[in-house]
Amino acid sequence: MRTKVGQGIGLVLILLWCLFPVAWILSLSFKSVEEAAAGSPQFLPKDPTLDTYQVVLQDADFQRALINSFGISLIATTLSVILATLAAYAIARLDFTGKRVVLSIALAIAMFPVVSLVGPLFDQWRVLGLFDTWPGLIIPYMSFTLPLAIWTLSAFFREIPWEMEQAAQVDGATAWQAFRKVIVPLAAPGVFTAAILTFFFAWNDFVFGISLTSTTDARPVPAQLAFFVGPDQFNAPTSTLAAASMMVTVPIIIIVLLFQRKIVAGLTSGAVKG
Amino acid sequence: MATGAVTAPRPQASDRARRAATERSRGENRLGWKLVAPAVVMMLLVTAYPMFRALYLSLYKYRLTAPEDREFVGLNNYLAVLTDSLWWIDVGNTVFIMVVTVAVELVIGFAFAMVMHRLIFARGIVRTSILIPYGIITVVSAFAWQFAFSLNNGFVNGWLPLVGDDFNWFGSKWPALFAICVSEIWKTTPFMSLLLLAGLSQISEDMLEAAKVDGATWWQRLWKVIIPNMRAAIMVAVLFRALDAFRIFDNIYVMTRGAQGTESASFLTYRQVIEQFELGIGSALSVLLFLSVMLIAFLLVKLFKVDLAAARQEG
């Protein structure tokens, strides 16, 4: 009985911790622009309104940033996961010299201070014509998501019973059939998990987003949020920003709701044995 | 000579087998490298090459607005940075944020992990909720907390008992740093707790049961059984979070823009390059930032004696 009560309290505390700030942004987004401008230090809105969402939805720059973010993140995720799958397969299944070197490089890059690249990349990208373009962001996103994707995938691939491929071939399946019917279904969850984590990373990036873009041609959502002025230039767009924040958080909540088990498995794979 | 004499009389069959084996392993080697090459090239392209370029540019006086005036100045940029108190203040801020956030996250994250580990109901709900701060954009988290602490629209002043309603959190250095730490801690504690949870689930129940039977109290079991047995998980979590916290940028950019002396080393570097166009000084800062991260990683690994490659490779 005592443990149950303790568990209940712990559970409530965790839920409060995680959801309270989200509830706060949600509540703020329902305050009207006037209310926020006049100052409203109370938690709940006096007169809830959806106007802020309308303002955000009609903001052309924000729409463009959403397209940029989705496009850039999806392309970077796809390419990164393809390269990581090849590398992770080699690391999990093949015996080759320099395996540790590859893992060490990945580790070093995961810890790399990204801001220190901003200067040289800013300079180079302008020379190469990559500044303020989609590829200009896709390339660094790939480099920085590869370590995470490689670890996650190699941890998953190590768990796959690869003998089943041969067993299927002994049972008369062709090499392609064995691969498609046996290996792909076993590997797919890992690949999918790596893709989600990679997407989160790209979707969250701010440093490259503000440094390597200058217009809405490629500016992603986090950077756009930081530059958001709103329709009324003389008042801080507090509640409108909250509405915009909510809109970019909803996709994350949906992904988390659908795939929580996989994401947790991916995040912790390889961090500790098991 | 001697070895040749020994190997020569070996029967041909085994020789052929061995040759086949080396042929096979050579093939495996080649395939292995072919498969990892694209990923390795991609990772190095955007890190190693620009880093060398930063090293090169850091030796020049180079403003992007006046590229023709570029001139070689040797180590003067480094000298200028290292003798400037701003650099040391910013490094101090960064280390402060790193130590405070990681320490607080470790305690709260551990408590969360203990709760989640023992939980028999509502596991899905907890897992989903805990992933929301992890998945949320850092900029959004920064805005949420900036507004919460703000003078005009924040509820924090009204809710906190000892703080006056007109207290401006962003008006001076330490309260502003506190607000920055809160946003950072809120967003990254879940990640910490999930890593610790994975370590916690490795501990055998039998061992805990045995300790219980032997009369160990809850506190003793925690310090003598649980924590020593999840050392590896704690170390990995601390190392990753510490290096991540040292790079803090997003929260500071959104919440204070470095005002009131709340700048971090990353923010200073960004400001020099992107806002001041000082590529020479900025590159020197980049190199110093890189070296700082290397130093911290080295110290942590030495201090904790973690074999990271092994910890990661075991999977």
Q: What's the CA gap between B226 and B237, in Å, rounded? A: 16
Give the model's confidence band at B315: pLDDT under 50 very low, under 70 low, under 90 confident, else very high. Answer: very low
DSSP B263: -
Q: Mean pLDDT score of chain B, rounded to an integer?
A: 85
pLDDT value of residue B7: 45
The verdict on a CB contact (< 8 Å) between B249 and A206 is yes
Residue-wise pLDDT for A53-62, tens only, equals 888 888 888 8
Select the more confidently predicted residue: B47 or B305.
Answer: B47
The verdict on a CB contact (< 8 Å) between B148 and A24 is yes
Residue-wise pLDDT for B194-252, tens only, equals 889 888 888 888 888 888 888 888 888 888 888 888 888 888 889 889 999 999 999 99
The verdict on a CB contact (< 8 Å) between A146 and B39 is yes
The verdict on a CB contact (< 8 Å) between B51 and A200 is no
Q: Give chain A positions within 8 Å (CB) of B29.
A: 95-97
pLDDT value of residue A65: 92
Give yes or no for residue B125 having a pLDDT over 50.
yes
Residue-wise pLDDT for A80-124, tens only, equals 999 999 999 888 888 888 888 888 888 888 888 888 888 888 888
The verdict on a CB contact (< 8 Å) between B311 and A211 is no
Nearest CA in chain B to A33: B153
Closest CB from A122, A146, A200 relative to B135: A200
Nearest CA in chain A to B199: A272
The verdict on a CB contact (< 8 Å) between B282 and A119 is yes
Across the strands, what pairs with B289? Answer: none
Q: Give the best residue of B64, B123, B140, B253 to mutate against chain A (max A CB count within 10 A).
A: B140
Question: Chain B, 72-91: which have a CB under 8 Å from a chain A CB?
Answer: none
Closest CB from A25, A112, A264 relative to B127: A264
Select the more confidently predicted residue: B162 or A22.
Answer: A22
The 3-class secondary structure across chain A, one letter per residue, is CHHHHHHHHHHHHHHHHHHHHHHHHHHHHCCCHHHHHHCCCCCCCCCCCCHHHHHHHHCHHHHHHHHHHHHHHHHHHHHHHHHHHHHHHHHHHCCCCCHHHHHHHHHHHHCCCCHHHHHHHHHHHHHHCCCCCHHHHHHHHHHHHHHHHHHHHHHHHHHCCCHHHHHHHHCCCCHHHHHHHHHHHHHHHHHHHHHHHHHHHHHHCCHHHHHCCCCCCCCCHHHHHHHCCCCCCCCCCHHHHHHHHHHHHHHHHHHHHHHHHHHHHHHHECCECC
Q: Give chain A positions within 8 Å (CB) of B35.
A: 86-87, 89-90, 94
Which among A228, A233, A90 has a CA at the least distance from the CA of A154? A90
pLDDT value of residue B307: 56
What's domain A60-229's superfamily in CATH? MetI-like (1.10.3720.10)
Q: Give chain A positions within 8 Å (CB) of B289.
A: 113, 115-116
The verdict on a CB contact (< 8 Å) between A113 and B315 is no
A26–B contact, CB cutoff 8 A: no
pLDDT more than 70, % of chain A: 94
Question: Chain B, 222-281: which have a CB under 8 Å from a chain A CB?
Answer: 230, 232-233, 236-237, 240, 243, 246-247, 249-250, 253-254, 266-267, 269-270, 272-274, 279
Q: Is the dihedral of CA B224, B230, B232, B234 positive or negative?
A: negative
B28–A contact, CB cutoff 8 A: yes
B103–A contact, CB cutoff 8 A: no
The verdict on a CB contact (< 8 Å) between B28 and A94 is yes
Q: What's the CA gap between B40 and A229, in Å, rounded? A: 41
Nearest CA in chain B to A12: B126
Number of CB pairs < 8 Å for A and B? 333
pLDDT value of residue A232: 61
Asked whether the beta carbons of B108 and B187 are under 8 A apart, the reply is no
pLDDT value of residue B38: 93
Q: What's the CA gap between A208 and A136, in Å, rounded? A: 9
pLDDT value of residue B2: 40
The verdict on a CB contact (< 8 Å) between B199 and A272 is yes
Q: Give the best residue of B189, B278, B312 to mutate against chain A (max A CB count within 10 A).
A: B312
For chain A, the domains span 60-229
Q: Give the best residue of B95, B139, B269 to mutate against chain A (max A CB count within 10 A).
A: B139
The residue with tokens 């795939």 is A259
Residue-wise pLDDT for B167-188, tens only, equals 888 888 999 999 999 999 999 9
Closest CB from A106, A238, A268 relative to B43: A106
The residue with tokens 């998945």 is B135
Give the model's confidence band at A235: pLDDT under 50 very low, under 70 low, under 90 confident, else very high. Answer: low
In three-state secondary structure terms, B8 is coil
Give yes or no for residue B101 having a pLDDT over 90.
yes
DSSP B223: I
B60–A contact, CB cutoff 8 A: no
The distance of A170 to chain B (nearest Cα, Å) reads 22
Model ipTM value: 0.88
* Amino acid type, A243: A
Q: What's the CA gap between B39 and A88, in Å, rounded? A: 10
